[in-house]
Chain A
């Protein structure tokens, strides 16, 4: 009975989350597609043609995986942080807290919502990329698993941000001052082999580097990073962030008085 009840509760949270971002698709799905199209036109088309090849690939083709991954990361994060904080702000998180839903299931529900948004926008951006770059798939399994795991990871990170957030300012600080710089410095637009040795070492501290490169490997078969190391890093972060978010919800941090 509990299993069935929990499954229905999980489905309900996911449906609610998906309907939430689909109701406002003009704010959630369309802008990333337009922004990425601009990246392709400016960086890939106008500037990229003067850069030449990177890792043996046309610059436009090189940046496609990174831009798709950047979109998935930012949208997974943004979906969960805004949804969770919104539910705190309007107090409708209480709808779940009064019900017999385990905290782990609340986390999984919000994360699944973030993954759905990340993948929806990821597909939209991939479709836009086809206008500029031919479709390429080196390893479908690696591509899908890396997309899914990265989306889970950043949904969890968004959830923790949402748990701690006390104002709307708090939900934009991390994306602006942490997530965006890490993404841009995570090898989206360049290969880290271009950097001096010291900065290559520093770049290895950036977890996004591992995700972008693993995804690039899945699509194009090239990577600056060992694939299995990337998996280990992503899974390690997921385990740590899930445990931490569960700890916070169990303590009632930010949601219970």
Chain B
């Protein structure tokens, strides 16, 4: 079976000479839930723009489910649904028309387009708003409208460029559930996000792009396994007179009732508690200082910075 997405030696140099992509290679398997992460300006949106035919590439090859974007453009486009980072619908059009028109652009007859629009707008909680113009929707509704629009021609590959940006946590979690469901139904999803918790929760494979290059491309588990030290924050039951010295762990003050503890990959949290109990430190609660993926992401990006 062909790859859901295959990118070979993709380059993009803008007219001002800026090299946004320096020859990236990337494969995404069918059915995957794939994270494409990177700092701002790393080349994520340029890559997505090229895949979606919104940006002209300088060199390289892109194929979607085996259809080369240069030689079989229409077939490749038919396989792809895009939820872009910025709102890109006519804000004066009614919600249902935006979705139905998009279906029409893919050759879906109008009656069938209305049926599909109804299904996706209902699934995404927008059916009640179908006759309202898009500009009257809240930010979260606009994001969901773009998802409904991207799905109406039932693409095999869905690319979401920061789909939950600016969305409250309740809606974000309902969007996660929806994306998990359509992925479980067999649709391949590529996600870019700045919420690394989101990527960690949803995605099975991950690529990190920085300065126009792929600096990491592995499984989510594999990547998280590379984290050598995790930092935890400990909330204490009572203030301490002095910082305890533990044999295996380094502790730091945050304030008199809060400590930070580094735990190496080979050590266990149990051992930390045993050592803390021995030092007569009572801990009320424990949490990660940062998301694990966030910590790795920062490490990778820092390593890739020019010295």
Q: A residues near B, CB below 8 A?
A: 1-2, 4-6, 8-9, 11-13, 15-16, 19-20, 23, 86-87, 90-92, 94-101, 252, 256-257
Q: How far is the CA of A256 from the CA of B57 in the complex (A)?
A: 10
Is B56 an interface position by the 8 A CB rule? yes
B-chain residues with CB within 8 Å of residue A13 when the two chains form the complex: 104-105
- The one of B54, B90, B92 in contact with A97, judged by C-beta atoms closer than 8 angstroms, is B54
Tell whether A19 pairs with B88 under 8 Å between CB atoms, given A4-B107, A96-B105, A100-B74.
Answer: no
B-chain residues with CB within 8 Å of residue A6 when the two chains form the complex: 107
Q: Which residue in chain B gives the minimum CB-CB distance to A96?
A: B105
Stretch from B35-43, B77-85, B280-288, B295-303 contacting the other chain:
B77-85
B90 and A87 contacting across the interface, CB-CB below 8 Å: yes
Listed A/B pairs (19) with beta-carbon separation below 8 Å: A5-B107, A8-B107, A11-B110, A12-B104, A16-B101, A19-B97, A90-B88, A91-B86, A92-B88, A94-B54, A95-B102, A97-B52, A98-B77, A98-B80, A99-B77, A99-B153, A100-B73, A100-B74, A257-B54
Q: Which residue in chain A gives the minimum CB-CB distance to B155?
A: A98
Tell whether A256 pairs with B88 under 8 Å between CB atoms, given A5-B107, A100-B77.
Answer: no
A90 and B90 contacting across the interface, CB-CB below 8 Å: yes
Q: How far is the CA of A9 from the CA of B103 in the complex (A)?
A: 9
Taking A16-B97, A86-B90 as given, write out 12 further A-B residue pairs in contact, using a Cβ cutoff of 8 Å, ordered by the A residue number.
A6-B107, A11-B104, A11-B110, A16-B93, A94-B52, A95-B88, A95-B101, A99-B105, A99-B106, A100-B78, A256-B56, A257-B49
A-chain residues with CB within 8 Å of residue B177 when the two chains form the complex: none
B109 and A8 contacting across the interface, CB-CB below 8 Å: yes
Q: Which residue in chain A gives the minimum CB-CB distance to B14?
A: A257
Q: How far is the CA of A178 from the CA of B281 in the complex (A)?
A: 83
B-chain residues with CB within 8 Å of residue A98 when the two chains form the complex: 52-54, 77, 80, 82
B-chain residues with CB within 8 Å of residue A256 when the two chains form the complex: 53-56
- The one of A1, A2, A12, A97 in contact with B101, judged by C-beta atoms closer than 8 angstroms, is A12
A-B contact count (CB 8 A): 90
Is B91 an interface position by the 8 A CB rule? yes
Chain A proximity of B18: nearest CB distance (Å): 11
Most buried by B among A1, A15, A16: A16
Is B108 an interface position by the 8 A CB rule? yes
Is B176 an interface position by the 8 A CB rule? no
Chain A proximity of B51: nearest CB distance (Å): 10
* CB contact list, B57-86 vs A, under 8 A: 73-75, 77-78, 80, 82, 84, 86
Q: Which residue in chain A gives the minimum CB-CB distance to B75?
A: A100
Tell whether A90 pairs with B91 under 8 Å between CB atoms, given A16-B101, A95-B102, A257-B55.
Answer: yes
Is B127 an interface position by the 8 A CB rule? no
A-chain residues with CB within 8 Å of residue B75 when the two chains form the complex: 100
Chain A proximity of B105: nearest CB distance (Å): 4
A-chain residues with CB within 8 Å of residue B149 when the two chains form the complex: 95
Q: How far is the CA of A19 from the CA of B102 in the complex (A)?
A: 15
Q: Which residue in chain A gives the minimum CB-CB distance to B55?
A: A257
Is B114 an interface position by the 8 A CB rule? no
Most buried by A among B92, B104, B106: B104
Chain A proximity of B133: nearest CB distance (Å): 9
B104 and A8 contacting across the interface, CB-CB below 8 Å: yes
Chain B proximity of A111: nearest CB distance (Å): 17
* CB contact list, B147-182 vs A, under 8 A: 149, 153
Q: How far is the CA of A4 from the CA of B108 in the complex (A)?
A: 9
A8 and B108 contacting across the interface, CB-CB below 8 Å: yes
Tell whether A101 pairs with B105 under 8 Å between CB atoms, given A2-B74, A94-B88, A95-B89.
Answer: yes
Q: How far is the CA of A8 from the CA of B108 in the complex (A)?
A: 7
Closest 6 CB pairs of A and B: A5-B107, A12-B104, A99-B105, A100-B74, A91-B88, A100-B77
A-chain residues with CB within 8 Å of residue B109 when the two chains form the complex: 8
Q: Which residue in chain A gives the minimum CB-CB distance to B49?
A: A257
A-chain residues with CB within 8 Å of residue B82 when the two chains form the complex: 98
Q: Which residue in chain B gives the minimum CB-CB distance to A99?
A: B105
B-chain residues with CB within 8 Å of residue A86 when the two chains form the complex: 90
B-chain residues with CB within 8 Å of residue A96 when the two chains form the complex: 105
Q: How far is the CA of A257 from the CA of B55 in the complex (A)?
A: 5
- The one of A1, A8, A20, A97 in contact with B53, judged by C-beta atoms closer than 8 angstroms, is A97
B-chain residues with CB within 8 Å of residue A15 when the two chains form the complex: 101, 104
> Per-residue CB proximity of B118-129 to A under 8 Å, as 1/0?
000000000000
Chain B proximity of A131: nearest CB distance (Å): 34
Chain B proximity of A104: nearest CB distance (Å): 13
B-chain residues with CB within 8 Å of residue A257 when the two chains form the complex: 14, 49, 54-56
Q: How far is the CA of A256 from the CA of B12 in the complex (A)?
A: 13
A99 and B102 contacting across the interface, CB-CB below 8 Å: yes
Tell whether A92 pairs with B89 under 8 Å between CB atoms, given A2-B74, A9-B104.
Answer: yes
- The one of B56, B90, B107 in contact with A9, judged by C-beta atoms closer than 8 angstroms, is B107
